Structure 1
Amino acid sequence: MTDTSFSTAGTLIERMGIEILEASPERVVATMPVAGNTQPYGLLHGGASVVLAESLGSVGAALHAGPNRVAVGVDINATHHRAARSGVVTGTATALSLGNTMASYDVVVTDEDGKRVCTSRITCLLRDAAPGSRAG
Structure 2
Amino acid sequence: MNYSKAQLLETANKASKNTLMETLEIEMIDYGEDFLVAKMPVTPRVHQPDGVLHGGATAALAESVGSFASHIFLDADKLMIRGLEITANHLKSVSSGFIYAKATFIHKGRTTQLLDIRVTDEQDNLISVCKLSTISLPKKK
Fold match, TM over 0.5? Answer: yes
Aligned ranges 1:36-55 → 2 under 5 Å: 36-55=45-64
CA distance in 1, matches of 2:103, 2:138: 23
- Read off the aligned partner of 2:8 and give its amino acid letter: D
Which shows bigger deviation, 64-73 or 98-107?
64-73
Q: CA deviation at 1:24?
A: 5.5
Structure 2 segments unaligned to the other structure (5+ residues): none
Matched, 1:64 2:73: yes
- Read off the aligned partner of 1:21 and give its amino acid letter: I
Structure 1 segments unaligned to the other structure (5+ residues): 132-136
Corresponding pairs, count: 131
More helix by share: 2
Aligned ranges 1:27-106 → 2 under 5 Å: 27-35=35-43, 36-66=45-75, 67-106=77-116
Aligned to 1:112: 122
Distance 1:25-1:38 versus aligned 2 partners, 3 A rule = farther
Select the residue among 2, 8, 33 that pairs with 1:3: 8
Distance 1:126-1:28 versus aligned 2 partners, 3 A rule = same
CA distance in 2, matches of 1:124, 1:25: 19
Q: After superposition, give the CA deviation of every residue in 1:47-72 in whole Å (9 maximum; x if it has no partner).
A: 01100110011001112231121111
What is the root-mean-square deviation in Å for CA atoms of aligned residues? 1.6
Structure 1 SS opposite 2:136: strand
Q: CA deviation at 1:25?
A: 7.0
Which fold has the larger relative contact order, with Cα–Cα distance below 8 Å and residues 6 or more apart in sequence? 1
TM (norm. structure 2) is 0.86
CA distance in 1, matches of 2:118, 2:131: 9
Distance 1:129-1:24 versus aligned 2 partners, 3 A rule = farther
CA distance in 2, matches of 1:17, 1:8: 9
